[in-house]
Amino acid sequence: MRIRQITLADLDGFYNLFAAVCAEGLYTHRQLPPAKERIRESLIEVQTQGWPNHVIEHEGQIIGSGEVFPASVCGEPGRDDTVGVLGMLIHKAFRNQGLGTCLLRTLIDSSQAAGFAALELDVYTSNRRAIHLYEVHGFEWRHDLSRHLLPNRQEDQLQRMRLELGLHSLSAKTL
């Protein structure tokens, strides 16, 4: 298994991963991933801009992905683009093996190198494992967001978490 920057050649594998996670009905309000053409456009922009977007590849299959986009690109105009919005997906068959930890460390490091001052993410309160992972890496709860009816028909609460990257690098050096 290896973590590497995503490329346009990963389009189908990334789409399949996204579709598999959506099908679980637990971690996103989406029932399907965005259209492949929209993902393709995003991948081209990621490569052009050099934003931290990584995949975990195992035996030629994309089994995990993590991305950081400037806040204004994520549908919230006027937000500070020194803040990166983070998202991660790990295929169900590969969870609980430490891959999320490795991917998150890679995203934090590459986000600092790309000049982001902070990272934010939205996570459902029922996703306790993900929240624990983020807290271990220094993310802190900021505020609750809207409630959603997930595809599995359960209602859940989104919360926003944030990591100040300057503080993260300082605390990592002192540990």
pLDDT computed for residue 167 by the predictor: 55
Which residues, including other chains, have CB under 8 Å from residue 77's CB and lie 6 or more apart? Answer: none
> Tell me, what's the pLDDT at 110?
97
Closest Cα to residue 82, out of 64, 95, 69?
69
Closest CA to 110 of 174, 168, 34, 40: 168
For 78, residues 6+ apart whose C-beta sits below 8 A from its C-beta are 72
CATH class entry, domain 2-174: alpha beta
Q: State the 10-residue block means of pLDDT for the chain, 175 residues long.
A: 96 97 90 94 95 97 97 79 95 96 98 96 95 97 91 92 76 36
Task: Tell me which DSSP letter residue 93 carries.
Answer: G
- Domain segments of the chain: what residues? 2-174
pLDDT score at 31:
87
Q: How far apart are CA 169 and CA 157, in angstroms?
A: 30
Q: What is the layout of strands, in order, in the sheet containing 2-5?
A: 2-5, 53-58, 61-70, 83-90, 118-124, 155-164, 140-149
Burial class (CB in 10 A: 0-12, 13-18, 19+), 174: exposed
90 bridge partner residues: 64
In angstroms, the CA 19 to CA 2 distance is: 21
CA 108 from centre of chain: 11
At residue 175, the pLDDT reads 31
pLDDT for res 81: 87
